[in-house]
């Protein structure tokens, strides 16, 4: 197979590997949330919201500071994403003026249209990461107001809010943050595509293997989570 045709086979294969893994992860989160870190953390945040809203006068400052830390983390990622997206144009100009040196580093299709597609794909990942983190900030800012409402008042019928609504809003903010972080992960594999389709495919496989160990939980972790949840529910009933 000629060198220029490698991108037509290996790049779609690398994208397929990444898409297959994240499709499996999404189905597992929806059907068996405790088997994934994302699903288990979502359940833990629900319990955290219930504990914070049980006594907002005591826990209000802690709750708002925790949400503020998450807002700062999302702000850092959003700023980084939009900055990198802006710098890609400078990088494109640099590779254009040094096309001879650039061609020596690339094994695969080196034509100008393919190079433009590479940089556009990376820019698209960073823009997606920026938008996801902006949505995350939006939900976190909304939750910072809701957490200071007492659970008793929130459960009333006079137009109050429920603990479940606050938990959903907090989890939505966290899910958008996770999506923004995934966009950074995918951008790394697309960055390897600049140096050829073979590094891109290898990077996709290695990235999915690493993410599997980061995204899944062990039986010990699930048992510990269930045990902590059981003690918490018993304490709430006694109160």
With cut-offs at 50, 70 and 90, classify the pLDDT of residue 138.
very high
pLDDT, position 238? 43
pLDDT, position 82? 85
Contact 193, 11 (CB under 8 A): yes
Between the CA of residue 95 and those of 127, 191, 200, what are the distances in Å?
A: 22, 14, 19
pLDDT, position 114? 76
Look up the pTM and report it: 0.82
Q: How far apart are the two ends of the chain, measured CA to CA in Å?
A: 72
pLDDT, position 234? 44
For residues 165-181, average pLDDT: 93
Q: In the chain, where are the structural domains located?
A: 3-13+37-221
160 — phi, psi (to 5°)? -75, 180
Alpha helix ranges (H) inside the chain: 6-31, 37-54, 56-97, 99-105, 112-146, 151-154, 163-193, 197-215, 219-238
With cut-offs at 50, 70 and 90, classify the pLDDT of residue 193.
confident
230 three-state secondary structure: helix
């Amino acid at each position: 197979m000629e060198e220029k045709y490698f991108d037509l086979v290996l790049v779609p294969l690398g994208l397929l590997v990444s898409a297959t893994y994240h499709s499996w992860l999404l189905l597992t989160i929806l059907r068996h949330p405790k088997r994934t870190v994302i699903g288990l953390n979502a359940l833990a945040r629900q319990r955290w919201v219930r504990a914070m809203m049980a006594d907002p006068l005591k826990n209000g400052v802690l709750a708002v500071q925790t949400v503020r830390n998450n807002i700062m983390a999302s702000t850092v990622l959003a700023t980084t994403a939009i900055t990198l997206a802006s710098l890609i144009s400078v990088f494109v100009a640099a590779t254009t003026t040094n096309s001879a040196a650039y061609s020596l580093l690339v094994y695969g299709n080196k034509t100008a249209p393919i190079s433009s597609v590479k940089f556009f794909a990376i820019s698209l990942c960073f823009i997606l990461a920026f938008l996801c983190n902006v949505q995350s900030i939006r939900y976190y800012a909304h939750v910072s107001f809701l957490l200071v409402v007492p659970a008793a008042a929130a459960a009333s019928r006079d137009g109050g809010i429920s603990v479940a609504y606050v938990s959903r809003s907090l989890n939505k903010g966290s899910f958008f943050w996770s999506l923004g972080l995934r966009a950074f992960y995918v951008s790394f594999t697309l960055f390897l595509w600049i140096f050829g389709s073979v590094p891109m495919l290898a990077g996709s496989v290695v990235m999915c293997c690493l993410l599997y160990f980061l995204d899944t939980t062990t039986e010990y972790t699930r048992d510990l989570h269930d045990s902590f949840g059981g003690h918490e529910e018993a304490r709430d009933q006694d109160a």
